[in-house]
Structure 1
Amino acid sequence: MSVCPICRRNPTAPEYKPFCSRRCADVDLQRWLSGAYVLPVDDEDEAPPEEGP
């Protein structure tokens, strides 16, 4: 049985999987909406913009 990734105390509930409750699902959604979860970006991989004539 897996554990809720937010509270890490309760087992997951089938109706809220992978969370244990609506509260933990809402906490996760709020983290996404507020920008708490971000993917790292390496600016060196981006090509510089080409200059026009």
Structure 2
Amino acid sequence: MSFSDCKYSNLEKINFGFLFLEISLASFKFLGILIFGFLGFHLNHQN
């Protein structure tokens, strides 16, 4: 019983870690797109 509980909690931790990684990667991509879009927009309007 305790072994299966421990195994399950480890699986939960791993799933949570992957979810956190995916969310952080998605937010970094979103920030990158925003920054590059803003820079491109700014540079186009300067010319």
- How would you bin the TM-score normalised by the shorter chain? under 0.3
Task: Flag the structure with more relative contact order, 1 or 2, with Cα contacts below 8 A and sequence separation at least 6.
Answer: 1
In our comparison, the structure showing a higher alpha carbon Rg is 2
TM-score (norm 2): 0.28
Taking structure 1 as the reference length, the TM-score comes to 0.26
